[in-house]
Amino acid sequence: MSRPQEPEPRLPPAAPPSSGPALRHAHPAERGRLLEDLVRQEIGYVLNCPPAAVDRHQTLTDLGVGSMTGLELQRRIAAVLAIEPELTFILRAPDTGTLARYLDRLLTSSKAGTEQRDIADPAAK
């Protein structure tokens, strides 16, 4: 059985592909803010709402991220940041800031990230 397809208005893609390297070079405080912005943009994308409407203090589930849109979000973040966040972490994230900090840890603990941070910021050694 086929059913009529609803038109699917979509906001433009939230972030350019693979902004991982640029984010790794950012100052840690700045990086946290950029990552939370990215998280809210990507959640807005999969839920088809403006990023500003994505409440920072809600669980992702309460924001409306389900299992399928959670996987879509995971695949999009993986493509943009070149990391592999766990789907279950995304689905259980208590708020956008916690998800951003989790992505930050993945980003900075990946091998390339460590090397680049060492070059960019010798004091971090």
Which residues are near other proteins by CB under 8 A?
1-3, 5, 8, 10, 46, 48, 55, 57-59, 62-64, 66-72, 75-76, 87-88, 91
**Per-residue CA distances from 55 to 49, 81, 83, 97, 115 (Å):** 11, 22, 24, 11, 34
- Decide whether 63 or 100 has the Cβ nearer to other proteins: 63
Collapsed DSSP state (helix, strand, coil) of residue 88: helix
Name which of 70 and 113 has its Cβ closer to other proteins. Answer: 70
Query: Cα separation of 61 and 20, whole Å?
Result: 26
Work out how close the CB of 6 gets to other proteins at its nearest, in angstroms, rounded to a whole number.
Answer: 8
